Amino acid sequence: MKTFSDVNVYSFPETTFIGGSYKVLHFYTYTSSSSISGSVALDVTSACIVWNLCPYDAREYVALSKDAVGYNGYYTVTLLSTDTEELSGKYIQKPELLNDGKYDYRLGRGIINIIPAGGG
């Protein structure tokens, strides 16, 4: 049986979008495997995953936090237009798996650039 401690952490590709945009982020989850087939999808259907967006220069501060929806082999985060309409600049996305209400496992990191709505 695969556990969350077996998850491979990948660096997420840098993402850029305009603040105030509706956006669905997709993240794939795989386990380490010594089998010939290599990595296998990790079912996170019942997992509690929180996605945090933190300013690049103040990573302890959470500018936006969203619950992710888990599936077999991936999870998604839906950003409504109202979630990011007041945000702009460079951020770090930090999805984390919760276990008993505490952060148990960091599922990767990546840079998000938010362009100000209206181009300013």
Tens-level pLDDT at each residue, the chain (120 residues): 344 444 444 478 889 999 999 999 988 877 665 444 566 777 788 888 899 999 999 988 999 999 999 888 888 999 999 999 999 999 999 888 876 555 566 667 889 999 998 765
Find the helix or strand (DSSP H, E) in which 76 lies.
strand 74-79
C-beta separation of 23 from 119 below 8 A:
no
Query: CATH topology for 4-111?
Result: Immunoglobulin-like (2.60.40)
Is the Cβ–Cβ distance between 62 and 54 less than 8 Å?
A: yes
Give residue 39's pLDDT.
67
pLDDT of residue 10: 45
The encoded tokens of residue 115 equal: 């362009």
Concatenate the DSSP letters of all residues of 21-68 into one string: --EEEEEE-EE---STT--EE-B-TT-EEEEEEEETT-TTS-SEEEE-
Predicted confidence at residue 8, as pLDDT, reads 45
